[in-house]
C-alpha cells in the first residue's frame, strides 16, 4: 500500500513544473524546467503553450489547461510569465508567485524588461534558484532572495 | 591566436541572434557559435569556460542541442572559485538530467561542496542536488543533507529541507530518517525555513504512514498556532501582500493541515476554529486573500465532517462564482466539482449560473463549467440540461463544438430515460456537430436504433428530414444512409407512424437521391461512400421498381479510384444483375446488433474476441472467410463473358448453393452481402452482432468442406438448386481443396450410445426440434448432437435454414442438414458438434434461429435452448 502511495506521490505533486518567460512574438526568453523533457518535447510544448496563451485577451482568465498541465500566466508589458503546474495546485497562489518574481526582478534590474533577462540570463536563473527548488517555493522575501546575488555582484 | 579562437562575447552573440530575421538565419548563427564553442572547449582554456557555458545555456534555451558542453559543467563545478562553481551548477541543472550517466561523475564534487567551508558553495550544491538528484545520489548524499537541516544559517536550512523532499521522493525508505529533523523545522520563526519545513512534512506525510501519524500527534497543535500567529500578525513589510502576511506560507500551512485532518476526526476538530477564522476574516478583495480563501475551502472540504465549516466553504464558493473576476470564477468552478461529492444540493442551487459559464467567451471557463455540468446531471434534470446545452451547441464557437457535443453525447447516453428521446437528442447533435463527433458515438447510435424496432420507421424518417438540411455533417449522413438502406421501405410507406409525427411523402427515388448524393459528393470520405454502396445494394431489393437506376449508380462506382469501392461495386452489380432470386435474402435487414457486445468492445475490453479475429484460418470471422468465396464467385462471374453462360451461371448457383446449404450462413445472409455487411462492419468497427456466432459459422463453412472431401458427394448432399455440371463440380472441387487445407481433419465419430436423454429443444405451433446426444470416445469436451426438425404444419417448408450461436466457451460445428425442404409432417436431421472448453464447469447453452418459406412467405423463429442435460 505504501508503495502505491509513493507511486502516486511520484506521478504528480511536483508543484511547479516549469517556468517560462516569453515575449510578445512568442520567443522564449527564459525556460526553467523542474522535470525532465527532451529538447524536442520542450520545443513542442513551448510552441503549443505560447500559441494558446498569446491568443487570449486581457479579459479572459489567467489559466489555460494544456495536456496534463495547468498553465498560469500573466503578462507584464511585452513579457509573458508562464508557470506550468499540476492540476491540484492553487492557481491564485501561483499568480501571486509570478507577481513576486516580477517584483523581485524589478527590484534588482529596476523595471525589468525583456533585454534585462536576455543579457543577464544567468542572473535571472540565480534569482529563480533562490525562489524555487525542485518545484517548491523556497523563499518569499525579496530581500532574502536578492541578498546572495547582490553579495556576489559586490565581490566581483 | 587565442583571442581569435575565443570568438564573440556573450553579448555579441545574443545581439546577432536577436538581429536574425528568419529561423534559418538564427540556425546559421547558432551553428557558427556552437562550432566556436567546440573549438574553444578543445583548446581547454579555463578562462573561456564561463563564457562558453553562458552561451550554451542561451543556445539551449532556444532549443538547440548542447550535449557537447556537459563535460564543461563538470570541470567548472570542480574548479575552486565560487563564480565558476555557480555557473557550473546552473549549467548542470539546465543542460543535464538525472537520467544521464555524466551525472554520476558529479556525485563526488557535490559531496565535497556539501562539506565546503564557504556556506554559499554549500548552498549551490544543495540547490543542484535538490533539483536533479537521482535515487543513487540521494542514497549517497542523504547523511550530508540530513546534517545540513540543522546548519546554523537559515538559508542553508531551508535549502536542505527542500533538498530532502527530493531525496525522500526518490528513495521513500529514507523518509523516517528525516521525520525528527522536519518536525524541528516547524518551530522556526524564519519564513523561508518554515515554508520549506512545512513542505518537507507534507512530502513525508504523503509517502510514509508513520510520518503522517507522528506529525498528526505531535505537530497539529503547533501548526495551528503558527497559522494563527501569522494570520493575526502585525504588518510585516517584507512578507506583506495586499494586507496578508505571507500568503504563500498561509497556503502551505493549510495544505499540511489538510493532510493531517483528512481521515482523523480529532485532528479535524482541533483545526475547526482557525479554519473558521481564516474563512471569515480573510480579505477577499485582492488576489492574495482569495488565494488563501481558496486553499482554506479546499482544506475544509477535505477534513472530517464539520458541517458548519462546510456551509462557510460553500458560501465562499457561491461568492466566488458570482465574482466579476474571471480568475475567481474559474477556481470556483474548479472547487465546486469537488464540493459535489459532499453537498450535491448546494451545488445544484448554482446550476443556472454554471450553465451561464458554459456559454462564457473564455474557453478555460467554458471547459471547467462543462465538466461541472456533466457532473450535475441526474435523471431528474437531464432533459432540461440537455436542452440548454443543445440550444447552445447551435450557436457556440466552432472550436468548442467538439468538446460540447462529446459531453452532450455522453450525458445523453448515460441518463437517457427512453430510446426515442436518446435518438432525438443524438439527431440534434449530429445535425449541429456531425462533423466533429467521434466514431464510437455514431456507432452507438446505430446500435441503439437497431435495437429499437418500434422506432425504425420514425428514426429513418427523422434522419431523412435531417439529412436534407444538414448534408455537410458527415456522421449524420452515415447514420442516415445506413438507416435508409436498412429501413428504406419504412421511409417511403410511412410505416410505424408515431402520434407525434407529421406524415411525409417520400418517393423511392427521393430516398435513393439521398444515398446517391452521399456517394457522389466529392468530400464524402471512404467510409461514407462504402456505407452508401451497401445501402444502395439493399435498396435495390427494397425498391424493385427503380432497381435499374440503383444499378446505374452502383455501376458508376466501378470506376472509383478506391480499390475497395471498385471491387464492391463490381460484386454488388453482379448480385443486382444476375441473382435476383437470391438477392432479397442476401440483403435482408441486419440482425439486431448486440448492445452488450458493442458496449464491451467500446470499452475496449474484448481481448478474447479480438484475438480470435486476428487469428488466421479457421477462426476467422465469417465475413473474412466468406470473402474468398465472394472473390471466387466474382471471378466466375467475370469469366462468364467468355464461357458458356448457362454453365457459368450453374457454377455460381452451385457455389451459392453450397454456401447457403452447408454453412447455413447465419442471419439469412450469404457470402455476398455478408462481405458487404462485413465491409460495413469492419469500417464501422462495430463488429458483427456476436463474434461467437460468427466464428461458429465460419468454422462450419470450412469444416463442411473438409468433411466432404469428395466434391460431388458434397454437392449431392447439399441439394443445390440446379443439378451439378461435371465441369462445375470439378472446379468446385478445386475450391473445396482450397478450403480443405484450412479445415481441421474430420474426426471420425465413434458414438457410445445415448448416455444422455434426448430433449425437445424447441416447439412452436408449426415446428418441433428434438436433440439427441452422443459423446465420441476419448474427448469428454465434445458432444455430437443430432437435431431432428419436425414439421407440425399441414404445409411444406422450403428454404429451411437452421442457425445456432453459442457463447465463447463453446465451439460449434454444424454439418449440413439432410435437406432444406421439410414436407408436411415430415422431418429432416442435421448434425451438430459442440466442444465445451469449460466441460464439467458450465453446461451447454445455445441460441438458435430457424428460417423457412411457408406458402412463399418468409418465416423466422428464434429461441434459446437452456434445457441441455447437465454434464455435456
Quick one: cell of B19? 538581429
Query: With b meaning 16 or more CB within 10 Å and e meaning fewer, what string describes B377-393?
Result: beeeebeebbebbbebb
pLDDT, position A13: 62
Which residues of B, range 1-30, sit inside 8 Å of A by Cβ? 11, 14, 18
Q: How far is CA A151 from the centre of its chain?
A: 24
Tell me how far apart the alpha carbons of residues B184 and B215 are, in angstroms, rounded to a whole number.
11
B37 φ, ψ (degrees, to nearest 5) = -65, -40
pLDDT, position B585: 81
What is the mean predicted confidence (pLDDT) over B432-441? Answer: 89
Quick one: cell of B359? 456559454
Residue A80 has pLDDT above 90, yes or no: yes
Quick one: cell of B571? 460484386
Tell me how far apart the alpha carbons of residues B745 and B736 are, in angstroms, rounded to a whole number.
13
Pairwise pLDDT comparison (B622 vs B135), residue with the higher score? B135
Tell me how far apart the alpha carbons of residues B429 and B432 are, in angstroms, rounded to a whole number.
5
pLDDT, position B259: 94
CA atoms within 13 A on the CB side of B56: 30
Tell me how far apart the alpha carbons of residues B511 and B464 are, in angstroms, rounded to a whole number.
8
Check: CB of residue B322 under 8 Å from CB of residue B353.
yes
The CA radius of gyration of chain A, in Å to the nearest whole number, is 16
8 Å CB contact of A59 and B362: yes
Cβ atoms within 10 Å of A4's Cβ, excluding its own: 8
The residue of chain A nearest to residue B159, with distances taken between CA atoms, is A138
* Residue located via cell numbers 462485413: B678
Query: pLDDT above 90 covers what percent of chain B?
Result: 40
- What is the per-residue pLDDT across B672-723, written as a single tens digit (0 to 9) for each? 444 444 444 444 433 334 333 333 333 333 333 333 343 333 333 333 343 3
Query: pLDDT above 70 covers what percent of chain A?
Result: 91
- Choose from A46, A62, A139 for mutation: most chain B CBs within 10 A: A139
Tell me how far apart the alpha carbons of residues B732 and B661 are, in angstroms, rounded to a whole number.
15
| Count of positions (residues) in chain A | 156
The CA radius of gyration of chain B, in Å to the nearest whole number, is 38
8 Å CB contact of B248 and A137: yes
Where residue B494 falls (left for φ over 0; alpha for ψ -120 to 50; beta otherwise) is left
What is the mean predicted confidence (pLDDT) over A81-99? Answer: 94
Which residues of B, range 364-393, sit inside 8 Å of A by Cβ? 364-365, 367
Cβ burial of B24 (10 Å; 0-12, 13-18, 19+) is exposed
- What is the per-residue pLDDT across B770-807, written as a single tens digit (0 to 9) for each? 888 888 777 778 888 888 888 888 888 888 888 888 88
pLDDT, position B120: 92
Tell me how far apart the alpha carbons of residues B691 and B157 are, in angstroms, rounded to a whole number.
66
pLDDT, position B844: 83
Give contacts of A53 with chain B, Cβ < 8 Å. Answer: none
- Choose from A121, A133, A155 for mutation: most chain B CBs within 10 A: A133
Tell me how far apart the alpha carbons of residues A48 and B233 are, in angstroms, rounded to a whole number.
43
pLDDT, position B59: 93
8 Å CB contact of A9 and B169: yes
- Give the pTM: 0.68
* Residue located via cell numbers 510514509: B208
Nearest beta carbon to residue B57 from set A13, A43, A122 = A122
Residues 6+ apart with CB under 8 A from B316: B279, B284, B293, B296, B297
Q: Which helix or strand (DSSP H or E) is residue B801 part of?
A: strand B797-805
Tell me how far apart the alpha carbons of residues B306 and B303 are, in angstroms, rounded to a whole number.
8
B362 φ, ψ (degrees, to nearest 5) = -90, 120
The residue of chain B nearest to residue A45, with distances taken between CA atoms, is B63
Q: From B158, B159, B176, select the one nearest B168 (Cα to Cα).
A: B176
Q: Is B342 on the interface with A (CB under 8 A)?
A: no
Q: Which of B129-133, B394-398, B633-637, B845-849 has the lowest mean pLDDT?
A: B633-637
pLDDT, position B691: 39
Q: From B202, B199, B231, select the one nearest B216 (Cα to Cα).
A: B202
Which residues of B, range 159-218, sit inside 8 Å of A by Cβ? 159, 162-163, 165-166, 169, 172, 191-192, 195-196, 199, 203, 206-209
Sign of CA dihedral B93, B96, B99, B104: negative
Check: CB of residue A95 under 8 Å from CB of residue A72.
yes
Q: From B865, B836, B90, select the one nearest A30 (Cα to Cα).
A: B90
Helix (H, G, I), strand (E, B) or coil at B765: coil
Closest Cα in chain B, distance from residue A110 (Å)? 18
Q: How far is CA B321 from the centre of its chain?
A: 33
Q: Is A7 on the interface with B (CB under 8 A)?
A: no
Residues 6+ apart with CB under 8 A from B529: B518, B519, B557, B560, B562, B565
8 Å CB contact of B331 and A92: yes
Give contacts of B165 with chain A, Cβ < 8 Å. Answer: 134, 136
Q: Strand B240-241 and strand A136-137: pairing? A: unpaired
Q: Which helix or strand (DSSP H or E) is residue B678 part of?
A: helix B671-684
What is the mean predicted confidence (pLDDT) over B38-51? Answer: 85
- What is the per-residue pLDDT across A33-53, written as a single tens digit (0 to 9) for each? 998 888 899 999 999 999 999
Quick one: cell of B27? 540556425
Q: Is A78 on the interface with B (CB under 8 A)?
A: no
Q: From B166, B65, B27, B92, select the one nearest A38 (Cα to Cα).
A: B65
* Residue located via cell numbers 451561464: B356
Nearest beta carbon to residue B287 from set A2, A95, A134 = A95
| Count of positions (residues) in chain B | 872
What is the mean predicted confidence (pLDDT) over B389-397? Answer: 88
- What is the per-residue pLDDT across A122-147, written as a single tens digit (0 to 9) for each? 999 999 999 999 999 999 999 999 99
Q: Which helix or strand (DSSP H or E) is residue B290 part of?
A: helix B287-302
Give contacts of A136 with chain B, Cβ < 8 Å. Answer: 162, 165, 196, 199
Quick one: cell of B134? 537521482
Residues 6+ apart with CB under 8 A from B347: B314, B336, B339, B340, B372, B376
8 Å CB contact of B130 and A9: no
Which residues of B, range 465-484, sit inside 8 Å of A by Cβ? none
Q: How far apart are the first and last CA of chain B?
A: 95
Quick one: cell of B428? 440534434
Give the model's confidence band at B578: pLDDT under 50 very low, under 70 low, under 90 confident, else very high: confident
Average confidence score pLDDT of chain B: 80
Strands in B797-805's sheet, in edge-to-edge order, are B797-805, B846-854, B857-865
8 Å CB contact of B327 and A46: no
Check: CB of residue A67 under 8 Å from CB of residue A49.
no
- What is the per-residue pLDDT across B715-760, written as a single tens digit (0 to 9) for each? 333 333 433 333 333 333 333 333 333 333 333 344 444 467 888 8
Q: From B285, B295, B375, select the one nearest B325 (Cα to Cα).
A: B285
Tell me how far apart the alpha carbons of residues A58 and A65 are, in angstroms, rounded to a whole number.
17
Tell me how far apart the alpha carbons of residues B26 and B18 are, in angstroms, rounded to a whole number.
8
Residue A96 has pLDDT above 50, yes or no: yes
Helix (H, G, I), strand (E, B) or coil at A12: coil
Give contacts of A46 with chain B, Cβ < 8 Å. Answer: 63
At CA A145, angle to CA A142 and CA A151, rounded to 5? 115
* B265-281 and B209-232 helices, crossing angle to 10°: 30
Closest Cα in chain A, distance from residue B338 (Å)? 11
Quick one: cell of B727? 465441369
- Choose from B207, B210, B302, B321 for mutation: most chain A CBs within 10 A: B207
Q: From A126, A50, A69, A88, select the one nearest B335 (Cα to Cα).
A: A88
Task: Return the number of CB contacts < 8 Å for A and B.
Answer: 169
What is the mean predicted confidence (pLDDT) over B564-585? Answer: 86
8 Å CB contact of B18 and A34: no
Q: Which of B348-362, B523-537, B842-856 has the lowest mean pLDDT?
A: B842-856
Give the model's confidence band at B586: pLDDT under 50 very low, under 70 low, under 90 confident, else very high: confident
* C-alpha separations of B53 from B2, B87, B308, B563, B818 in Å: 18, 7, 58, 59, 88
- What is the per-residue pLDDT across B590-648, written as a single tens digit (0 to 9) for each? 888 888 888 887 776 444 333 333 333 333 333 333 333 333 333 333 333 333 333 33
Residue B743 gets which letter from DSSP? S
Please report the beta strands in B211-288, taking only residues with DSSP state E, as ranges in sequence order: 240-241, 244-245
- What is the per-residue pLDDT across B293-336, written as a single tens digit (0 to 9) for each? 999 999 999 999 778 898 899 999 999 999 989 999 999 999 99
Sign of CA dihedral B149, B154, B160, B161: positive
Cβ atoms within 10 Å of B170's Cβ, excluding its own: 18
pLDDT, position A91: 95
Give the model's confidence band at B292: pLDDT under 50 very low, under 70 low, under 90 confident, else very high: very high
Q: Give the best-scoring range by mean pLDDT among A94-98, B718-722, B861-865.
A: A94-98
Give this complex's ipTM. Answer: 0.93
Closest Cα in chain A, distance from residue B288 (Å)? 6
Q: Is A6 on the interface with B (CB under 8 A)?
A: yes
Closest Cα in chain B, distance from residue A121 (Å)? 8
What is the mean predicted confidence (pLDDT) over B811-822? Answer: 83
Closest Cα in chain A, distance from residue B244 (Å)? 12
Nearest beta carbon to residue A30 from set B61, B191, B209 = B61
Give contacts of A100 with chain B, Cβ < 8 Å. Answer: 241, 248
Q: Which of A145-149, B70-74, B220-224, B528-532 has the lowest mean pLDDT?
A: B70-74
Which residues of A, range 80-139, sit inside 8 Å of B by Cβ? 90-93, 95-97, 100, 118-119, 121-122, 125-126, 129, 133-134, 136-139
Residue B459 has pLDDT above 90, yes or no: yes
Amino acid at each position: 500500500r505504501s508503495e502505491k502511495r509513493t507511486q502516486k506521490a511520484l506521478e504528480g505533486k511536483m508543484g511547479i513544473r516549469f517556468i517560462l518567460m516569453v515575449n510578445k512574438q512568442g520567443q522564449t526568453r527564459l525556460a526553467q524546467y523542474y522535470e525532465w523533457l527532451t529538447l524536442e518535447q520542450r520545443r513542442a510544448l513551448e510552441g503549443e503553450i505560447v500559441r494558446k496563451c498569446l491568443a487570449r485577451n486581457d479579459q479572459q482568465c489567467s489559466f489555460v489547461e494544456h495536456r496534463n498541465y495547468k498553465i498560469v500566466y500573466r503578462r507584464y508589458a511585452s513579457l509573458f510569465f508562464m508557470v506550468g503546474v499540476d492540476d491540484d495546485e492553487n492557481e491564485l497562489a501561483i499568480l501571486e508567485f509570478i507577481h513576486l518574481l516580477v517584483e523581485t526582478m524589478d527590484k534588482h534590474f529596476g523595471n525589468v524588461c525583456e533585454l534585462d533577462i536576455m543579457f543577464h540570463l544567468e542572473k535571472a536563473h540565480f534569482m529563480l534558484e533562490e525562489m524555487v527548488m525542485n518545484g517548491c517555493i523556497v523563499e518569499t522575501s525579496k530581500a532574502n532572495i536578492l541578498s546572495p546575488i547582490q553579495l556576489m555582484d559586490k565581490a566581483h | 591566436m587565442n583571442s581569435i579562437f575565443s570568438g564573440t562575447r556573450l553579448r555579441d552573440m545574443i545581439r546577432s541572434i536577436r538581429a536574425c530575421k528568419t529561423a534559418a538565419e538564427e540556425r546559421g548563427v547558432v551553428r557558427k557559435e556552437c562550432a566556436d564553442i567546440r573549438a574553444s572547449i578543445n583548446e581547454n582554456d579555463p578562462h573561456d569556460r564561463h563564457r562558453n557555458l553562458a552561451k550554451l545555456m542561451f543556445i539551449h534555451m532556444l532549443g538547440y542541442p548542447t550535449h557537447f558542453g556537459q563535460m564543461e559543467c563538470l570541470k567548472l563545478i570542480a574548479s575552486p572559485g565560487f563564480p565558476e562553481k555557480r555557473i557550473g551548477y546552473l549549467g548542470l541543472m539546465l543542460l543535464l538530467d538525472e537520467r544521464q550517466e555524466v551525472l554520476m561523475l558529479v556525485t563526488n564534487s557535490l559531496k565535497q561542496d556539501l562539506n565546503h567551508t564557504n556556506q554559499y558553495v554549500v548552498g549551490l550544491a544543495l540547490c543542484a542536488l535538490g533539483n536533479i538528484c537521482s535515487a543513487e545520489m540521494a542514497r549517497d548524499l542523504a547523511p550530508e543533507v540530513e546534517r545540513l537541516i540543522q546548519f546554523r544559517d537559515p538559508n542553508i536550512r531551508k535549502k536542505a529541507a527542500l533538498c530532502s523532499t527530493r531525496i525522500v521522493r526518490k528513495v521513500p525508505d529514507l523518509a523516517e530518517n528525516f521525520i525528527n529533523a522536519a518536525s524541528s523545522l516547524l518551530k522556526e520563526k524564519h519564513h523561508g525555513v518554515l515554508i520549506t519545513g512545512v513542505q518537507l512534512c507534507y512530502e513525508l506525510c504523503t509517502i510514509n504512514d508513520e510520518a503522517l501519524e507522528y506529525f498528526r500527534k505531535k505537530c497539529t497543535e503547533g501548526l495551528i498556532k503558527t497559522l494563527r500567529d501569522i494570520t493575526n500578525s502585525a504588518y510585516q513589510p517584507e512578507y506583506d501582500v495586499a494586507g496578508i502576511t505571507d500568503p504563500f506560507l498561509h497556503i502551505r500551512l493549510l495544505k499540511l493541515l489538510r493532510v493531517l485532518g483528512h481521515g482523523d476526526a480529532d485532528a479535524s476538530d482541533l483545526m475547526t476554529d482557525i479554519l473558521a477564522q481564516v474563512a471569515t476574516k480573510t480579505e477577499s478583495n485582492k488576489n492574495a486573500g482569495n488565494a488563501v480563501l481558496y486553499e482554506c475551502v479546499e482544506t475544509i472540504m477535505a477534513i472530517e465532517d464539520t458541517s458548519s465549516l462546510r456551509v462557510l466553504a460553500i458560501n465562499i464558493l457561491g461568492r466566488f462564482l458570482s465574482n466579476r473576476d474571471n480568475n475567481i470564477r474559474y477556481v470556483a468552478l474548479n472547487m465546486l466539482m469537488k464540493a459535489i461529492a459532499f453537498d450535491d444540493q448546494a451545488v445544484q442551487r448554482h446550476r443556472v449560473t454554471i450553465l451561464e459559464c458554459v456559454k462564457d467567451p473564455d474557453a478555460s471557463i467554458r471547459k471547467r463549467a462543462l465538466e461541472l455540468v456533466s457532473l450535475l446531471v441526474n435523471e431528474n434534470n437531464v432533459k432540461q440540461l440537455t436542452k440548454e446545452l443543445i440550444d447552445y451547441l447551435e450557436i457556440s464557437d466552432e472550436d468548442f463544438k467538439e468538446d460540447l457535443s462529446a459531453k452532450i453525447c455522453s450525458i445523453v447516453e448515460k441518463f437517457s430515460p427512453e430510446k426515442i428521446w436518446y435518438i432525438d437528442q443524438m439527431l440534434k447533435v449530429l445535425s449541429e456537430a456531425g462533423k466533429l463527433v467521434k466514431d464510437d458515438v455514431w456507432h452507438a447510435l446505430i446500435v441503439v436504433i437497431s435495437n429499437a424496432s418500434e422506432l425504425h420507421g420514425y428514426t429513418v424518417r427523422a434522419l431523412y428530414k435531417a439529412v436534407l438540411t444538414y448534408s455537410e455533417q458527415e456522421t449524420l449522413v452515415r447514420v442516415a444512409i445506413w438507416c435508409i438502406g436498412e429501413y428504406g421501405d419504412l421511409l417511403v410507406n410511412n410505416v410505424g407512424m408515431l402520434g407525434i409525427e407529421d406524415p411525409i411523402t417520400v418517393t423511392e427515388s427521393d430516398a435513393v437521391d439521398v444515398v446517391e448524393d452521399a456517394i457522389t459528393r466529392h468530400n464524402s470520405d471512404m467510409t461514407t461512400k462504402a456505407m452508401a454502396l451497401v445501402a444502395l445494394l439493399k435498396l435495390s431489393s427494397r425498391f424493385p421498381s427503380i432497381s435499374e437506376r440503383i444499378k446505374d449508380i452502383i455501376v458508376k462506382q466501378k470506376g472509383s479510384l478506391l480499390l475497395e469501392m471498385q471491387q464492391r461495386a463490381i460484386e454488388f452489380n453482379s448480385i443486382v444483375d444476375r441473382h435476383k432470386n437470391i438477392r432479397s435474402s442476401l440483403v435482408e435487414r441486419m440482425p439486431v446488433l448486440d448492445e452488450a457486445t458493442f458496449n464491451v468492445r467500446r470499452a475496449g475490453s474484448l481481448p478474447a474476441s479480438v484475438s480470435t479475429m486476428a487469428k488466421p484460418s479457421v477462426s476467422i470471422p465469417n465475413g473474412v472467410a466468406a470473402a474468398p468465396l465472394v472473390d471466387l464467385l466474382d471471378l466466375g462471374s467475370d469469366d462468364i463473358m467468355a464461357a458458356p453462360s448457362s454453365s457459368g451461371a450453374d457454377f455460381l448457383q452451385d457455389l451459392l448453393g453450397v454456401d447457403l446449404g452447408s454453412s447455413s450462413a447465419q442471419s439469412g445472409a450469404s457470402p455476398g452481402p455478408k462481405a458487404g455487411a462485413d465491409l460495413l462492419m469492419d469500417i464501422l468497427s462495430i463488429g458483427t452482432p456476436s463474434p461467437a456466432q460468427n466464428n461458429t459459422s465460419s468454422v462450419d463453412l470450412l469444416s463442411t468442406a473438409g468433411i466432404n472431401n469428395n466434391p460431388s458427394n458434397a454437392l449431392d448432399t447439399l441439394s443445390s438448386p440446379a443439378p451439378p455440371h461435371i465441369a462445375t463440380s470439378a472446379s468446385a472441387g478445386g475450391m473445396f481443396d482450397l478450403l480443405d487445407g484450412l479445415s481441421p481433419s474430420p474426426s471420425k465419430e465413434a458414438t457410445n450410445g445415448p448416455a444422455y436423454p434426448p430433449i425437445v429443444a424447441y416447439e412452436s405451433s408449426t415446428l418441433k426440434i428434438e436433440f439427441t446426444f452422443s459423446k465420441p470416445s476419448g474427448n469428454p469436451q465434445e458432444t455430437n448432437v443430432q437435431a431432428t426438425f419436425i414439421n407440425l404444419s399441414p404445409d411444406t417448408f422450403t428454404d429451411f435454414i437452421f442457425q445456432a450461436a453459442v457463447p465463447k466457451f463453446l465451439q460449434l460445428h454444424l454439418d449440413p442438414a439432410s435437406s432444406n425442404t421439410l414436407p408436411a409432417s415430415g422431418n429432416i436431421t442435421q448434425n451438430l458438434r459442440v466442444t465445451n472448453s469449460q466441460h464439467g464447469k458450465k453446461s451447454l447453452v445455445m441460441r438458435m434461429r430457424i428460417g423457412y418459406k411457408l406458402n412463399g412467405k418468409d418465416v423466422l423463429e428464434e429461441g434459446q435452448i437452456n434445457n441441455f442435460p447437465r454434464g455435456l
